[in-house]
Structure 1
Amino acid sequence: MARLLSIDFGKKRTGIAVTDEFQIIASGLTTVETHNLMPFLKDYFAKEKVETVIVGDPKRLNNEPSEVVPLIEQFLEKFRKEFPDIIVKKVDERFTSKIAFQSMIDSGLKKKQRQNKALIDEIAATIILQDYLNQK
């Protein structure tokens, strides 16, 4: 089987998580600067087989799209042209950053570590992917 990969897209940084080949466990992979996302994905897809990419769809509490949605749509347009064989699914990502931050507190990370926004993005991507697996 191929892996699933999730993206917590942000204006500055993008968190990335992947599953194992059996699509059972979601694990944080890394956080990359968003302007380096496509080169990173090209390199990763050359090394690993990925069947589906799950992209967080940020919405406000009133169900309106957040301000980053147009950037996500631009990215997805380029992504689909570059990787037409990879399935793309969007999932609601409301509260994932808050859940990620709370999980950092619950796991006992020190305040300095909890200020690492890149780690929060990576954990948020992992939560998005785990939620997707749980619904599947």
Structure 2
Amino acid sequence: MPKMRLNIVTPEKVVYDNEIERVTVRTIDGDRGIMPEHIPLITGLDIGAIRIKEDNEEQILAATKGYMEVRPEETIILVDSAEFADKIDVERAEAAKKRAEDRLGSKTENINEKRAELALQRALNRLKVTKGNNFE
């Protein structure tokens, strides 16, 4: 099966750099699967899972918003953060979820509702990835 290079990069480090068979990401327009020889594309990414198929095995990462550039032989994903499912601290993600829910439920004037909603989305995404849940 043909392969392509996948690079996943955050401001801190290169999270992933290898030859793969397929990657599926959550774009701003919905989920999109990318395979070798894909037409060139640049798109925004939403909070969601990155699913990598490499040597008939799947790896899943939780990712935040960012951008993706696709070329026939290479895909580059630039995100604020990306974590492999087995590296996510579940207790920390649960605590972040609870804090965000508490902020949203408090209805005080000094709460940035959009920021709390994004924090909740990130925490829920991290928890779904750890459980291997399907992403609608």
TM over 0.5: no
- Normalised by the size of structure 1, how large is the TM-score? 0.30
Select the structure with the greater relative contact order (CA < 8 A; seq sep ≥ 6). 1
Larger radius of gyration between Structure 1 and Structure 2: 2
- Normalised by the size of structure 2, how large is the TM-score? 0.30
